[in-house]
Every structure is written in C-alpha cells, then in structure tokens.
Structure 1
Amino acid sequence: MIDAVVFDIGNVLIEWQPERHYDRVIGETRRREMFAAVDLHGMNDGVDRGEHFATKVAQCAETYPDFAPEIQRWHDDWLEMASPEIPHSVRLLRALRAKSIPVFALSNFGIQTFAMACDVYPFLNEFDRKYISGHMGVIKPDAQIYKMLEEDCGLLPERLLFADDRADNIAAAQARGWQTHLFDGPSPWAARLVAEGLLTEAEAN
C-alpha cells in the first residue's frame, strides 16, 4: 500500500539540462571547454545546500575569469535552463491530488531558485509537502534528507513511492526501504502509478 507519492522535480516535472542551454547560446565547443575547466554542477550543489544563488555564481565567475560571462549566465539564464515543464508528469501530479493521494516534493533545489521556479510553474505550489534541499541544508543522495522527510511526515518508508531520474538518489531511497521508480519519461511513470492501483489508465493519460 502506498500512503504518499514523492516526486523529484528536475527532469521529472521540469527539464533541467544546463548543457543544452549553453550549447545553444555559446556553442558546444566553448561549453565543453568551460565544463571541463569549471565544476558548475558542484557550484550548483552548493546552491542546493542553501548557499545564496547570486553570491555563489558570482564567486565562481570571479574564480574563473576566462569564463566569467558564461558562468554568470548560470544565474541570469537560470529559468531558461530549468525548462520546459513536462506536461504529462504535471497531469499525473494533479491526478493523484484529485484523488486525495498525498503528494510530496523531494528535490535538490536552492532557496532562491525554488522561489523563482514557483513563480513560473504554479504546480510547484500544489504539493501537500515540499522538501527542498536548500531549506534543509542537505542534498540527495545523503541519507539524512530521506530521514528528515520520514520524520516530518510520519509515514512508514515502505509506504512511500519515490520517482527520481538519478540512480544514486533512487539507491539511497531504496536503502531506507522506500518503494522507488527510476524516472525515464512520464509514460512508464504513469504505468507504474496504474500498476500500484493509484490511478486508472484514463486518469494517468
């Protein structure tokens, strides 16, 4: 039995492909050079742990002056990188809520970036509970973030169903006894929700 469904956000509800954006605006060759020289995803992990978004990006740009304008785009173009939404996944979220099935978010997301995203994507305000790493001070796949969710919601781990696109995040949830789904597109996720008896096929379309 499932008592709550837990959604990751990036690449589950909203596409998150920074490299794709950079390829479009500065070209693949320059993007490859930059990502080889600068740990931009590591920088973003700091934001996701609660460091201030604008400050963190500015510090990184200052550290790597050869790429400073491009690094600054991580801040200035962030909403373009975090797009578009994945419509079928959003429909699944809303279909679950329409049946009064509790739906939680568990996502690596900065404090400032999540506030920005909530302004653009109204469905991010529709979760029953939101577990956002920037506010929690810890990111997936650290076991602590899963433990914090369990303690806050009071539900048994084995009665949580969690969808995430990263295998390491899924493995960490499984280690705590959660039921899981490695997200590789909304259609298989819809099928899983139907198989669990949470939605009918019509509701999962």
Structure 2
Amino acid sequence: MTPEAVVFDIGNVLIEWQPERFFDVEVGRERRIAMFDAVDLHSINDRSDMGEDIAVVIAEAADRYPEFRDEILLWNERWIDIASPAIDHSVRLMSALQSKGIPVYSLTNFGMQTYDIAARKYPFLRQFDRDFISGHMKVIKPDPAIYRMLEKGSGLSGGALLFADDRSDNIEAAAARGWQTHLFETPQGWADRLVSAGLLRADEAA
C-alpha cells in the first residue's frame, strides 16, 4: 500500500550525530577511546532522551569520572557542535513530501533541552506535521511503547506509516508493528525508497 504519512528519525537521518568524531578532533583519538571505554556516554545521553536535564546528567558523570571531567563537560557545553551538520538532501526530502500534502512526523530519541537548542540552529525541526520526541514522551526507541504512542497520536498504524531510521533495532521494532520501514544509510537511498513507495518522483527527490 502507499504510505499515508512518513516518519523521520532525526539523528543521522536529518542531522549527523557522531560524538566519537567530535571528540577525536577535540581531544585526540587515543584520549577519546580511553574516555569512551571508561564512561558509557551514550547511555548517559539516553537519560536526557528519556526526559532528564542534560546539564544535570552530564555534570553527574563529570563528577563520577574526574579524570575525564573536562572532556565529559564538552558533551553539554558543545552539544550543538556534536549534532552537526544537517543532512541537506534529507531536509529537502522532508520539504518535498510536505509540499505534496504528505504528512511528515518525527520519531526521535532527543532530550527536551537539546531539541530546543537544535531547533534554533535547524529551523526545519519546527516544521514537522507532528512531533514525537522521546524527552517529552519519557520513553525511547526501540521500546514498543513509543511506537504505540505515535500510532495513537497520529491515528495511523501498520502499512500506513513509512519510517526511516539509521538503527536496525529501531527499524525492527517498527516492522514488528507492521510499519513500512527503511534502514537509512545514505540520503540517496532514502530518496530512492520514497520514489519506489510512490510518494515522490525522481526529480522531486533530487
């Protein structure tokens, strides 16, 4: 069936999210590897994505691991530099879908404070037809609850939804609910999927 709405993850679909790359530049690869081996920063960030204040959870981590204190604090102080740059082709795809009257929703693991910061730099984050942001929902992908909440909020389910995400576990959770899915690897691959789904012409997906 032709999808009735398209659901975008944000990190690594609309905005690059590569913390390791950022820290390689800022503190050097060896120091970054040592820090990430000692400190599970991604799990700490998940706490923000589930609704806790990013400044608080990062400060707690910095206190817990004083040998990496200055580096850990960069996660909050320089967060917008980690969440960078925008993936311009994906942003164009979002706009192209909406210009044809196709609803576009977000479904993203994102903290409340960091989303507001990101939206100031990336205005397209305020242009979704519906927002489903984990920090406000208090649950993160791939928990099935977050998919149920989108279905309830949008009134759509199963094959009426086409979802793009860069993580296979998130995709598998959506597919288990009957959603149409696309594992995002490149914006061109996503463009091709939207064309094959009958939502855009090739020229509209360029």
Measured against the shorter chain, the TM-score band is over 0.9
Aligned to 1:48: 49
Aligned to 1:128: 129
1:32-43 aligned at under 5 Å gives the runs 32-43=33-44
1:15-74 CA-partner distances (Å, limit 9, x unpaired): 000000000010000000000000000100000000001011001100100100000000
Runs (5+) with no aligned partner, structure 2: none
Aligned to 1:23: 24
What code does the residue aligned with 1:50 have?
A: G
Separation in structure 2 between the aligned mates of residue 157 and residue 44 of structure 1, nearest angstrom? 30
Moved over 2 A (4+): none
1:72-112 CA-partner distances (Å, limit 9, x unpaired): 00001100000000000000000000001000000000000
CA RMSD of aligned residues (A): 0.5
Percent identical among aligned pairs is 59
Aligned to 1:151: 152
Shift of residue 156 of structure 1? Answer: 2.4
Aligned to 1:11: 12
1:144-198 CA-partner distances (Å, limit 9, x unpaired): 0000000111112221000000000000000111000000010010001011110
Matched residue SS, 1:131: coil
1:1-205 aligned at under 5 Å gives the runs 1-205=2-206
Runs (5+) with no aligned partner, structure 1: none
Separation in structure 2 between the aligned mates of residue 150 and residue 98 of structure 1, nearest angstrom? 23
Separation in structure 1 between the aligned mates of residue 164 and residue 157 of structure 2, nearest angstrom? 17
- Aligned pair count? 205
What code does the residue aligned with 1:185 have?
A: T
Matched residue SS, 1:104: strand
Separation in structure 2 between the aligned mates of residue 30 and residue 2 of structure 1, nearest angstrom? 46
Separation in structure 2 between the aligned mates of residue 23 and residue 149 of structure 1, nearest angstrom? 36
- TM-score normalised to structure 2 length: 0.99
